[in-house]
C-alpha cells in the first residue's frame, strides 16, 4: 500500500485578479456553483441548460441553434471549431498577430488542412487589406480564421470587416472571442460570423472550464457534408448537440459539469440583467479610468489607442523595473494579480485585465496605488 498523504485543506487567499484571466468571479456566481448537485439528466437541470443556451444566444447576439457551452476550457472551443469544420486538404487563411493566431494555425495543420498565414507585428490589429489580398491570392480557401481580441497583445481586430471579406470570398469565418465576449461589441448574426468560441473565465467572469461556442446554419451545413468523420469523438458537434438541444429527450453524451453550469447560468444572467451594451460601455469607461492613471504614472501602452482592448491593457514595463519582483510584491503585499507578458512580450510588458466583475473602480484604484508605490 502507498500510505495516504496527510494534507491540510486548501484555503486560497482572496486576490484581486487583474490579469489576462481567470478574472474575479462575483460572490453571486460562486454561491450558485455551490448549490446542491442534481443529476445531469434531471428534468430541472435540462431546463436550466435550455436557459443557458438562450442566455448564450443573447451574449453572442445570435439565433444559431447550435449554440452551447463545451465542457472544457477555451482551447477546446478553438479545437471544436477546427476539428468539426476543416477537412484534410482544405485551405484556411489564418491571421496571426499574437500567440492565439498561431494556435489556430496549429489546429488547422493538425486537422490536415493547409494554413496560409497573414502575419502582423505584435500589438497590431489584423489588417483587412492584407486579408483581402490573401483571399484574392487564394481563391480555393474555404475559411478565414482570426482572433477578435488578442490576449497576448491587447489588440482588437475589426471582426465585422473581416467577416464581410470572408463572405465576399465564399469563405466561412472562424472567430476567437475568448477575451472579447461580454467585454466589447460582438454581434454574431449581424456580422455574419460562422463559427465562434469563447471561454467562461474572462469577461463573463465565471469559473474557468467552459467554452461557449456557436455555429451558423452555413457552418452546420458544412459539418453535415463532411466526407470524413470528425476525428475527435468528444468534440464532434453533431453528437454533443443531441445532448444540448434534445429538450426532454436529451440523450447522454458525457457527464456535464453540473455545478460549473450553475455558475455559467448565473454569470450569464448577471450579464443579461446589466445589458450587453451597458457591459461593453462599463469596460470602456473602466479602461479610460485606468488609462488616465497609467498616463499620469508615465506608463506607455503597447497598442495604438483605436485598437486597444478595454478589458486587456498591455503596457511596457518601465525601464529599470524588475518585472518578476514587482509582480510578486503586488501579489504578496496587495493580493493583486496582474499578468506577465506572453511570447514576444515576456519580460517586456504587463497585461492588466479589467474583465467582467473585475472591471470596477475600486480595483483600478488599488492597481494604480500599488503601481505608484512600486514605480516611484
Binding residues for ligand PLP, rule: CB under 6 A, are: 20-21, 73-75, 78, 100, 147, 151, 176, 178-179, 199
Question: Which residue is associated with the grid cell 474583465?
Answer: 355
State the minimum distance, in angstroms, from the CB of residue 17 to ligand PLP: 13
Print burial letters for 295-314: b (CB count within 10 Å at least 16), e (below 16).
Answer: eeeebebbbeeebbbbbbbb
- Separation in Å, CA 105 to CA 34, 155, 197, 338: 38, 19, 16, 28
State the minimum distance, in angstroms, from the CB of residue 247 to ligand PLP: 29
Q: Which is nearer to ligand PLP, 46 or 111 (CB)?
A: 111
Q: Which is nearer to ligand PLP, 113 or 339 (CB)?
A: 339
State the minimum distance, in angstroms, from the CB of residue 187 to ligand PLP: 19
**Cα–Cα dist 121/186, whole Å:** 24
Q: Which is nearer to ligand PLP, 125 or 374 (CB)?
A: 125
State the minimum distance, in angstroms, from the CB of residue 370 to ligand PLP: 23
State the minimum distance, in angstroms, from the CB of residue 351 to ligand PLP: 10
Q: Point out the residue whose Cβ comes nearest to ligand PLP.
A: 74
Q: Which is nearer to ligand PLP, 131 or 370 (CB)?
A: 131
State the minimum distance, in angstroms, from the CB of residue 54 to ligand PLP: 23
What number of other Cβ atoms are within 10 A of residue 66's Cβ? 22
- Please check whether residue 172 is in contact with residue 195, taking contact to mean a CB–CB distance below 8 angstroms: yes
Q: Which is nearer to ligand PLP, 64 or 151 (CB)?
A: 151
State the minimum distance, in angstroms, from the CB of residue 328 to ligand PLP: 21
Q: Which is nearer to ligand PLP, 271 or 309 (CB)?
A: 309
Question: Which residue is associated with the grid cell 482572496?
Answer: 14
State the minimum distance, in angstroms, from the CB of residue 208 to ligand PLP: 6
**Cα–Cα dist 139/134, whole Å:** 9
Question: Which residue is associated with the grid cell 497576448?
Answer: 152
Enclosing H/E stretch for 269: helix 258-274
Q: Which is nearer to ligand PLP, 204 or 330 (CB)?
A: 204
Q: Which is nearer to ligand PLP, 23 or 250 (CB)?
A: 23
- Separation in Å, CA 251 to CA 21, 140, 234, 242: 33, 38, 14, 6
3-state secondary structure of 212: strand
DSSP conformation letters of 128-196: HHHHHHHHHH-TTEEEEEEESEETTTTEE--HHHHHHHHHHTT-EEEEE-TTTTTTS---HHHHT--EE
Amino acid at each position: 500500500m502507498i500510505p495516504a498523504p496527510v494534507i491540510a485543506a486548501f484555503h486560497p487567499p482572496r486576490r484581486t485578479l487583474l490579469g489576462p484571466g481567470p478574472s474575479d468571479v462575483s460572490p453571486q456566481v460562486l454561491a450558485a456553483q455551490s448549490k446542491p448537485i442534481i443529476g445531469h439528466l434531471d428534468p430541472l437541470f435540462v431546463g436550466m441548460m435550455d436557459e443557458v443556451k438562450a442566455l448564450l444566444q443573447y451574449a453572442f447576439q445570435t439565433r444559431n441553434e447550435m449554440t452551447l457551452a463545451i465542457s472544457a476550457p477555451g482551447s477546446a472551443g478553438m479545437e471544436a471549431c477546427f476539428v468539426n469544420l476543416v477537412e484534410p486538404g482544405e485551405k484556411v487563411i489564418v491571421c496571426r498577430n499574437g500567440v492565439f493566431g498561431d494556435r489556430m494555425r496549429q489546429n488547422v495543420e493538425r486537422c490536415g488542412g493547409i494554413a496560409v498565414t497573414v502575419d502582423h507585428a505584435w500589438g497590431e490589429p489584423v489588417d483587412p487589406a492584407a486579408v483581402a489580398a490573401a483571399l484574392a491570392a487564394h481563391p480555393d480557401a474555404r475559411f478565414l480564421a482570426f482572433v477578435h481580441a488578442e490576449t497576448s497583445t491587447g489588440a482588437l481586430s475589426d471582426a465585422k470587416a473581416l467577416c464581410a471579406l470572408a463572405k465576399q470570398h465564399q469563405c466561412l469565418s472562424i472567430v476567437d472571442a475568448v477575451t472579447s465576449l461580454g467585454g466589447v461589441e460582438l454581434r454574431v448574426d449581424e456580422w455574419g460570423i460562422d463559427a465562434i468560441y469563447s471561454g467562461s473565465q474572462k469577461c463573463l467572469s465565471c469559473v474557468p472550464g467552459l467554452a461557449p461556442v456557436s455555429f451558423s446554419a452555413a457552418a452546420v451545413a458544412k459539418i453535415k457534408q463532411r466526407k470524413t468523420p470528425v476525428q475527435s469523438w468528444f468534440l464532434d458537434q453533431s453528437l454533443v448537440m443531441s445532448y444540448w438541444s434534445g429538450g426532454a429527450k436529451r440523450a447522454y453524451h458525457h457527464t456535464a459539469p453540473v455545478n460549473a453550469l450553475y455558475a455559467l447560468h448565473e454569470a450569464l444572467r448577471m450579464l443579461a440583467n446589466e445589458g450587453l451594451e451597458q457591459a461593453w460601455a462599463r469596460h470602456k469607461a473602466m479602461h479610460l479610468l485606468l488609462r488616465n492613471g497609467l498616463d499620469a504614472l508615465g506608463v506607455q501602452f503597447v497598442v495604438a489607442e483605436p485598437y486597444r482592448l478595454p478589458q486587456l491593457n498591455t503596457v511596457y514595463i518601465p525601464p529599470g523595473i524588475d518585472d518578476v519582483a514587482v509582480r510578486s510584491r503586488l501579489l504578496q503585499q496587495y493580493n493583486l494579480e496582474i499578468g506577465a507578458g506572453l511570447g514576444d512580450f515576456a519580460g517586456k510588458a504587463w497585461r492588466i485585465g479589467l474583465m467582467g466583475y473585475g472591471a470596477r473602480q475600486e480595483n483600478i484604484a488599488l492597481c494604480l496605488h500599488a503601481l505608484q508605490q512600486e514605480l516611484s
